[in-house]
Chain A
Amino acid sequence: MSTSAPPSPLLVLDAVGKVYTGEIETRALADVSFAVSPGEFLAIVGSSGSGKTTLLNLLGLLDTPSEGRLVLDGQDASRLEPDEAARVRRERLGFIFQFHYLLPEFSALENALMPCRVAGNDRAEREEPRMRALLDRVGLGDKLAKRPHQLSGGEQQRVAIVRALANDPLLVLADEPTGNLDSRNADEVFALLQALTREAGKAVIMVTHDHELAERADRIITLKDGRVASDVRSPGPKAD
C-alpha cells in the first residue's frame, strides 16, 4: 500500500503535520506519509475541511509543515527560505487552481509563457514553440493572441493547464482544476490535463471533489480529519 514503486520517488512525505496557529490552534494535518513516483497521476479526495488544500499548499512550498519532512527530488524542502522556495516553485513545480487566475493584461500565449518570463526571458523565447504547440493541442491554436476575457471559462482553464507545463516541471499541483466548470467542460479539461501530463511524463497531484474524475487517476488518497484514511492504486486499466 505504501512506497513500493521501483524508481526513486519524486516526492516523499514523512509524518507531515500542520497546525494553524492563531487565536485558536487548528490541526489541519497529522502524520501524513506517502511517496509519489515520477509520472504518477495522484488524486486527493476527502470531505470539506479534511485538509486537502492545506496539503497541496505544503507540497507547493507555499506553506511550511509544522512537523515532519517533505523531500522533493531528493532535496529536503520542508523549511525553505521564501526566496529559495520561490526558486524551487519556479524550476520544479507547476500550478493549476480552481480559478484560472490568468493575467488580464496578457494574451493567452503570453499567459502560458508567464512562468518562463518569471524565470528569465531567454527561457520564454526558447519555450515559445512548445507552448504554441501545446495551446494548439488543447484547441486554442487560433486564439493565441486573445486576452483572457475573450475566452470561455473552459478555454481559460486550458490555458492555465498549458501554463502549468511551461517551465517543464517535475510535478504539477492542481486544486480542484475543474471545480468551476460544468461537467462537460470539466470532463474535457481533465482529459487534456491527463493526456498532456502523461505525454510529458509529469507527475500530477490533483485535489478534487469529483469522485468520477478521481477514479480515472492512477491512485487515490483519501484524507479524513487531516489524516490519510486510504491510499489505493486504481485497478482499472488506464493504459488505453
Chain B
Amino acid sequence: MATPFTLSVALRQLAYNRGQTLLTIGVVATSVTLIIFISSLINGLQVRIVNNVTDSIAHVRIMPEERQPQALWERESAEGDPLAVGRVAKLEQRQRKIEGWQPWLERIRSLVRDDLLTLVPSTEGSAVISRETKRIPARLLGVVPEDYNRIVDIQSNLVSGRFFALNGGEAAIGLRLSRDLGVSLGDRVRLLSAEGNVSNVTVAGIFDTGFGSVDGGAVFVPVRDAQSLLGIGNAITGFGLKVTDVFEAERVAGELRQQLPFRIESWMQDNERTLSGLRAQSGSSQMIVAFTTLSAGLAIAALMVMAVTNKYREIGILKAMGASSRQILRIFTLQGLILSLIGALLGTLASLGLLAWLGSLKTISATTGKASDLFPIALTLGNFLIGNGLALATGFFASLYPAWRASRVDPIKVIRGQ
C-alpha cells in the first residue's frame, strides 16, 4: 500500500536517477515487446499452418471399414457363424462403399451434435483426366456443390465459370490442373475411373483456392456422374465433416469410433508430424518468453541494487528519522512496480506498432498474382495479458531483493560514515 511519503520518495528518486530509470524501463519495454511480438507471430504462424491443412479437407473422414474380417467378426460374434469369415473375405474384395447411407447421415449428425460445423456425404475415387495426349491422375469427387462448398470454399475462388449448379456432364477443375492439361472453360475432357468407366465432360468451372492438392488434382462432378464412373449405383464412399474447433477433431473421431461400424480418421492423425512440429514451436516460444522474463528480472534487480547502493546514506537518514523498514521496503517495491508499469505500457505500444507495421506488409503470389499477408499475426488478448502480467510480476519480484537490502540498511553505519 502506497502512502504519500513512500510514493513521493519513490517517484522523486526515479525522476532524479533519470539514466537508471530510463534504462530499467527500456529493459522492461523491450522484453514486453519481445514477448507480445514473438507470441503473436508464432500464434499467427500456427494458425496459418493449421488453416492451410484444415481449410482444404474434412476434419473427420468416415469411410467403410477396411480391416473388415476381424471387426465384422467382433460385431457379429453373437451369431457365432464361422462362415462369416469367408463372407467377409469376399466383402473385402468388393468396392468399398456405403449403401442406404441416409440413416447414417442422421445418426452421425445426432452423435456429433454441438461440435458439428458441417457434414456432407462424399463420393470419391481415383480417375485419370485426359485431353488429347495429356493424361493426369486426379481425385474424382462427386459432390452437391452447394454442400461441399462448406468443406472447401470453391465457389468464391472461381476464376471462371460455375461451381454451384454444376450440371450432369460438367466438371469443375483447378486452375493448375487446367493449365497442366492445356484446357480452358468450355473444353471437353475425358475421365477414366479406376474401375474402368469412361465419361466425357465439359469444363464448366475453373477455380484457384490456393491449396495445391485441390487446385492441381481434384475433379468435381455431380454425385450421379461420379457414382456411375465409380460403378457404385446409389451408394456413397463416405462422409466428411467439419467441426467447430479443429483441435477437437480427434476427440470427436474417437467418440464416433465407439458408435459407428466405420473407419474414422481425423486430420490430426493424418498430420501428426505437423502437429508435433507445432507443439515444439509452442514449446520454444514459451522458452523464449521464460528466458526473456528471467533476464529482464535479473536486469531490473541488478539496476535496482545499484540504485539502492547509491542511496545508502539517504535510506539511513530516513530510518534515523523514524521511517520503518516496511516503509523503506515499500519505497523500492513501488519503484519496481512503477518501472515495470511504464515499461509494460511502452512495450505494449511498441509491439502494437511493430505488429501493425508487419501486418501491413503484403506479399504477391508469383503464380496467381494474389496479395496476401507476409507475416501471419494473431495478437490475442492472452498474449497481451501474459506480456503485461509477466512484466508487472517480474518488476515486483525483481525489486524485492533490492528493497529488502534497502530495508536492512543500518542507520548507525551511515551516521558513522561507513
A: residues with CB less than 8 A from B are: 53, 57, 60, 62-63, 82-83, 86-91, 93, 95, 97-99, 101, 103-106, 114-115, 117-121, 167, 175
Contacts and interface: CB of A to CB of B under 8 A. Distances in A.
30 contacts: A53-B416, A60-B320, A62-B412, A82-B325, A83-B326, A89-B321, A90-B322, A91-B322, A93-B322, A95-B320, A95-B321, A97-B415, A98-B417, A99-B313, A103-B9, A104-B314, A105-B9, A105-B16, A114-B321, A115-B321, A115-B322, A117-B4, A117-B8, A118-B5, A118-B318, A118-B323, A119-B322, A120-B5, A121-B4, A121-B5
| Chain B binding surface, main DSSP class | helix
Contacts of A104: 16, 314
A161 B313 CA distance: 18
B381 to A, nearest CB: 38
Nearest to B416: A53
B417 A103 contact: no
A104 B317 CA distance: 12
B415 A118 contact: no
B415 A62 contact: yes
B287 interface: no
B324 interface: yes
Contact of B3 (A53, A82, A90, A121): A121
B5 A86 contact: no
B12 interface: yes
Contact of B13 (A93, A99, A105): A105
Contacts of A121: 3-5
3 shortest interchain CB distances as A-B pairs: A90-B322, A105-B12, A89-B322
Contact of A86 (B16, B323, B414): B323
Contact of A103 (B317, B319, B412): B317
Given A104-B16, A121-B5, 13 more contacts: A53-B415, A60-B320, A62-B411, A62-B415, A82-B325, A86-B319, A86-B324, A95-B317, A97-B317, A99-B417, A101-B316, A118-B318, A118-B321
Given A57-B415, A97-B415, A106 B321 contact: no
B314 A103 contact: yes
B327 interface: yes
Contacts of A97: 317, 320, 415
B85 interface: no
A195 B262 CA distance: 104
Q: Tell me which of B316, B318, B322, B324 has the highest count of chain A C-beta atoms within 10 A of its own C-beta.
A: B322
A194 to B, nearest CB: 22
A167 B326 CA distance: 20
Contacts of B12: 103, 105-106
A57 to B, nearest CB: 5
A57 B319 CA distance: 13
Q: Tell me which of B8, B317, B416 has the highest count of chain A C-beta atoms within 10 A of its own C-beta.
A: B317
A175 B415 contact: yes
